[in-house]
Structure 1
């Protein structure tokens, strides 16, 4: 059973969280990579919001978007740009980030093994959390709360499962729902476990993401769960994205792959984080 509530609200406010690192003075190439990350996360972006976020002129952003369009990644439109792959992604229910899939499958298998029949869990949107969902189809009587449409379809098709979704604004690249309506929904939820995705995880920067849109939603998910499992492949370790959710203190366990270095592994454990390595 899939339950969707409050569909149609289209509000995304920028929370007051700190950026992972300063953006003023970024060179052109790093700034373009960040802009592309943003558009791959959101599906589109406006010139004005990018100029404000990256602290450069609108003319500079237009030049950046022109270059990204020449590279075949995006298509410019009046006042902004959108991701070229969106129609195909949505049509096939495919997520954008398909790199390191073998590691993500192993992480998914380990994480799914932590879920018991009859539990209530939250699954964040993302490729790694989708791998968890694919391995939970043999569980019985799960209550799953997710903002991801593809995960809702995977687990909602299993008889006996109850799958609940918030309302909100549809984000095509992540096949997910976001916005204030989604945030409010999770503020009224309690779950035993949350499996949380991230774009980057570092001891100093904490958890970081490509844009502002989902920060409040992820904060609400964290507060709704008794135990927070961060799921991320080792390529995301010591990587910082554009916006900062918070320090590593918000997570209890970190599930990653064998690519994590010994020094990093020790550092996470010293922070009091349970480290689970999918071999």
Structure 2
């Protein structure tokens, strides 16, 4: 179903026969998936396929987890190497790449993790070696993030050694961006409470600009990405003073 939504987000429409051939499944199986997605108001079915609803501008997290998974795991491993000496308190925003980072951090001891992501909190809550702090806020079903004034108020009085941030787009012109304006504001608050900020993003996010700006690239110290990122965009980021690491 994730592939179906991914195609719709890019093309706007799709045909049952085409997607069945691409997936190597029967048209009946595709129609069942379309029916289930329509019940979730994620698309509208047509006679021969489906069209994207006007609300489908951001794939829910549960359908994004399988994309670029190997790249995200390598990025997470590189993020651990970027912790540096004396890094004890770490802030994590939501997202598929930061979720991989959280899983890698779970193997460490003596860390304090502050997050506004419910799925990350659920993974880390069972780890006795990690001190976990979860913000309040209003839950977003698309990203599992807690956002808004309550989330930001939860950060008052907290000073982080490092913030590890996921984004939907990063470029010099647009800065760090995401699909949702309130989420962007909450993520910016987390960055403002950190001594240092590292962005983790697979190559598809580099050079992209989503709807809402989190902050300029001058607010971050490092981007960790993968070899698929546009070299020209990476050169622009380096010129702007951002350390770029390729995992």
TM-score with structure 2 setting the length: 0.74
Work out the CA distance in 2 between the residues paired with 1:121 and 1:214.
Answer: 19
Paired position in structure 2 for 1:111: 79
Q: Does 1:205 align with 2:174?
A: yes
Listed one character per residue, the Cα deviations across residues 137-157 of structure 1 (whole Å, up to 9, x for unaligned) are 221121000011121122222
Q: Which residue of 1 aligns with 2:118?
A: 149
Q: 1:203 to 1:131 in 2, by over 3 A?
A: same
Task: Quote the RMSD (CA, aligned, Å).
Answer: 2.8
Kept in 2: contact 1:118–1:141 (CA 8 A): no
Matching of residues 5-44 of structure 1 within 5 Å = 33=9
Deviation at residue 253 of structure 1 after TM alignment? 0.6
Q: CA deviation at 1:202?
A: 1.2
Asked if the contact 1:234/1:258 (under 8 Å) is kept, the reply is: yes
1:271 is aligned to 240
| Runs of 4 or more consecutive aligned structure 1 residues displaced over 4 Å after TM superposition | 80-83
Q: Secondary structure at the match of 2:90?
A: strand
Which residue, 216, 231, 234 being the options, matches 2:200?
Answer: 231
Residue 243, structure 1, aligned to residue 218, structure 2: no
Q: CA deviation at 1:73?
A: 5.5
- Between 1 and 2, higher relative CO (CA 8 Å, sep ≥ 6) is seen in 1
Alignment correspondent of 2:107? 138
Rate the CA distance shift 1:149–1:269 in 2: closer, same or farther, 3 A: same
Residue 102 in 1 paired to residue 77 in 2?
A: no
Matches of 1:33 and 1:95, distance apart in 2: 12
Distance 1:96 1:73, change over 3 A: farther
Pair 1:256-2:228 in alignment: no
SS in 2 for 1:213: helix
In structure 2, the CA distance between the partners of 1:267 and 1:125, relative to structure 1 (3 Å rule), is same
TM-score normalised by the chain length of structure 1: 0.66
In 2, Cα distance between the equivalents of 1:246 and 1:81? 25
